[in-house]
Every structure is written in C-alpha cells, then in structure tokens.
Amino acid sequence: MKSLVLYYSLTGHTKALAQSLAAREDAERAEIADWKKPGALKSFLAGCPAAMGHKAWPIRPLPVNLADYDRIFLLAPIWAGNVPPAVDAVLERFPEGKTVEVTLVSGSGKSKCAGWLRKTLEDQGCSVAEITDVKAE
C-alpha cells in the first residue's frame, strides 16, 4: 500500500509531526503551499474568516499526484476551529476511493470541524479511517 503524508504548516508545528509520521509509516511527504506566502500574522488574520466559512484560497500545484496513493495522511493546523483555506483548496482535489487519516493540530488540541471534514471527504468517495485532534507542542 503506497502512502502519502500531506500537510500544511504555517509555523512548523504541523511540519514536524508530518516528518515524524512519514518516517514512522515509511510514506512519502508533500507540503500544501499557499500561492503567495505572506507573513504568519497576515496569513492567520486573513485566513481565520476564510477558514470559518470553509473558503479555499489559491495554492501552488501539489508536488505529487494524489491518485498515485492508496492511503493519505492529512495533517493540518486549526484556525478559528477549522482547517485553513489552503487545506480547503486541496480537499477539492482528493480522488475517490482513497483511505484518509486526518490529524488536526492546535494550541488547545480541540477542533470544531471533524464532522464537517469527515462528511466532505466521504462525499467525495473517500474512506475516513480516523480524525485525531492533537495539541501543538
């Protein structure tokens, strides 16, 4: 089974978890990158309202083809209780038939979007194995 760790990280917390998970699972790793990379504060301030409305914003082309993987580990930070707009953008690209495991990273270790995220992925024909909230360290 070919696996991918796909992640978005603004401050590096989620990237560190992605690196560790990729090594443990012997999986390839790919980053979701904003089309334009403003500073962290500007991204967060502009991104929180977009995250709350599940509005995607432009991202760079993914360095991998998601269709090439059987299992995708998706790691994302939490902004205002939801996934960032860059993650919303990549969710639209998940191919049908993939098994997805999601890790949501936040300062509190609690998100508001697990149900929405599961429904979004399942509506696209993916099987969601697990959604886990973790506290950033």
Q: What is the pLDDT of residues 44-94, one digit of tens each?
A: 777 888 888 889 989 999 999 999 999 999 999 999 889 999 999 999 899
How many CA within 13 A on the CB side of residue 118?
9
Exposure string for 64-87, b = 16+ CB within 10 A, e = fewer: eeeeebebbbbbbbbbbebbbbbb
Specify the pTM.
0.93
> Which backbone phi and psi does 83 adopt, to 5 degrees?
-75, 150
Exposure string for 111-134, b = 16+ CB within 10 A, e = fewer: bebeeebbebbeebebebeebebb
Angle at 100 between CA 68 and CA 112, to 5 degrees: 140
| Residue 74 token pair | 């998706």
The pLDDT of residue 44: 72
CB-CB contact of 5 with 66 (8 Å): no
